[in-house]
Chain A
Amino acid sequence: MLILWFNVSQMQGELRTIYQAKQVMPYSFSGHKFLGLEEIFKDVAYAGYYTDKDMEELRNATQFAQAQLILAPTILDLNNLGHEYTIFDCSSPELAFQKIKEAGLKPLKKNQFGIILAKRKP
């Protein structure tokens, strides 16, 4: 009974937290930053994913995993600029554009979350 009481009080706390979080956003998922790209990637088996962020950090690793989920079955190749399409998720747009220029790619799209899609020049 004591265990049940502990559980219920912790569950109450969790429900309160979720209720408060739901007032800010309907659900938790950062993969939506990549929505729309799946239309372009329809017949693309592999694409690059370039980032200068620390992938050991949970937040960045989570975003990469969620991007991979949303864009499946396209396989994202981390920090490989050799594919026809590459997604840039950099700490600043300037850095991303500089890297795009260096790699000889052409920027195609940029969304409100700072995600840039670039394509290899023909």
Chain B
Amino acid sequence: MKTILLILPFLISFFNGLCIVTLILGDEIRSHKLLHFSLAGGLGLGLSGFVGYFNFLVLDRYNPNFQITINLIILGLAFLGLLLSPKQEAAAMEANKQKWWWEISYLALFLVLFAPIYYIASFYPYGGWDSWAVWHFKSRFMLLSGDAWRNMFDPLLWRSSPHYPLLLPLINVWGWTFVKEPTFYGPMITSILYTLLSLTLLVSSLMPFKKDKFAFLGSCLLISSPFYGRTAISQYADIFLGYYLLAALVCIVYSVLRKKKRFALLGGIFTGLLSFSKPEGLAAALIVLGIATAYYLIYARTSSFKGVIPFGVGSAMAMILPLTFYLFITPENMTMANGLVSKSDPSTWLRFKTILAYSLVEFLSIKKWKGLWVLIFILVLANLKRCFSKEIALIPAVLASYGLLVGLYYLINTRFEILWWMGVSLDRILGSLIPVFLWWVIYAYNWKRT
């Protein structure tokens, strides 16, 4: 019974996401079941996280009945909308049957590949450092503190990064809603689920371009990598962030490739969810927002497709709640020391050189990555022209800007000793970007020619 109660919130969110993605994308998504599943899981859970945040804003405490009611109302409305929307023709459904088998096979294979991850995760049920100190801790705090939830922003808790956004803890709290206690299974399920969704999204979004087999191989490289597996087990927010970044970019690129405004709208919504995932997620979301807007505007000059308005509407809708957090609730970042103005800890030339050297060592680290980054760079170099072609130029632009911003933050924020700081964070930042890098190089590479 407890297992059912534990899974129930995830199922409600999943069906919520399924209905909303179908409503937004219509026939565009009905024939791509695995892509539908991959987008629906992240959208539904993200939406439930938003409902949880709205709950705290309105009632100033966590109220499970409020949370359940709003989620069910959304589900009911979305389902009603779905009943009233036009159906796909039977002939088209028949044509897609063969593809479904591939999709089901991928999902089944992924579930088998996740068995070792689950086994290791069961030995670390509370995850790793950032889970105890930040994500899991905030989730427990929000569930159990009643109307004292704002104590979580107390400067005494500086080790828990009080300024961090709350989407992941809110999803964890939603996961505990029916069992009414903070069991470690909730965050564990969330973490493993987002890892699975990232990989199925990577494979399924490359299926229409007939590159899913290479994407599956890339996913196997990721899931078999002890480092990536450990990140999933640790219940950190990095894979969570990586999922939303990949989902946003895939939807934006799809909107241009297929000239469908509906994908632009969904891309905007995922960008909004990305902004509430982590401080780096906010930075990535602002970069995506800026570059995607420019991308749509430049594209509109040579094509009749205009995606900027639906993208803007989607982003605005999904960014309202995160903005209220960043403007009115989040406390000051206590782990920031501006090295540009600080006399005691200035940003130095040595720090700059250390950042460059450490980054190079990290990319080449055989122990962690086993040559995966080298392979990615070789694939980029082997197909430079297509990697930077107009249709997907958005992706390298976002990745380069994000990398530059992370580098600048390392340089300017002198609060921590740089080698220690990069040692505990750079690999996770890179890990969160790998699915996007893989999508980019696999999409761009001309496999037939090879």
Contact = CB atoms under 8 A, between A and B. Distances in A.
Interface of A: 2-4, 6-8, 10-11, 14-15, 18, 21-22, 26-29, 31, 45-46, 62, 65-66, 68-69, 72-73, 75, 77
13 contacts: A4-B224, A6-B371, A7-B225, A7-B370, A10-B370, A15-B116, A18-B120, A29-B124, A46-B156, A69-B133, A72-B145, A73-B140, A73-B148
B27 interface: no
Contacts of A3: 221, 370-372, 375
A68 B133 contact: yes
Label chain A's interface by main secondary structure.
Answer: helix
Nearest to B126: A29
Contact of B123 (A2, A11, A21, A31): A21
Contacts of B120: 14-15, 18
A27 B151 contact: no
Nearest to B369: A3
Interface of B: 116, 119-120, 122-126, 129, 132-133, 136-137, 140-141, 144-145, 148-149, 151-152, 154, 156-157, 159-160, 217, 220-221, 224-226, 229, 370-372, 375
Given A29-B125, A29-B126, A73-B151, 4 more contacts: A65-B137, A65-B159, A73-B144, A73-B148
Please list the 9 inter-chain residue pairs (A to B) with the smallest Cβ-Cβ separation, ordered nearest first. Answer: A73-B145, A7-B224, A6-B370, A72-B140, A65-B133, A69-B132, A72-B141, A65-B132, A3-B370
A29 B132 CA distance: 10
Contacts, number: 88
A72 B159 CA distance: 14
A72 B123 contact: no
Contacts of A14: 120, 226
Contacts of A75: 151, 154, 156-157
Given A4-B221, A15-B116, A15-B120, A77 B156 contact: yes
Q: Which residue, A3, A4, A29, has most C-beta atoms of chain B within 10 A?
A: A3
A52 B264 CA distance: 57
A75 B162 CA distance: 13
Contact of B136 (A45, A46, A69): A69
B136 to A, nearest CB: 6
Contacts of B145: 72-73
Q: Which residue, A2, A26, A68, A73, has most C-beta atoms of chain B within 10 A?
A: A73
A10 B226 contact: yes
B221 A18 contact: no
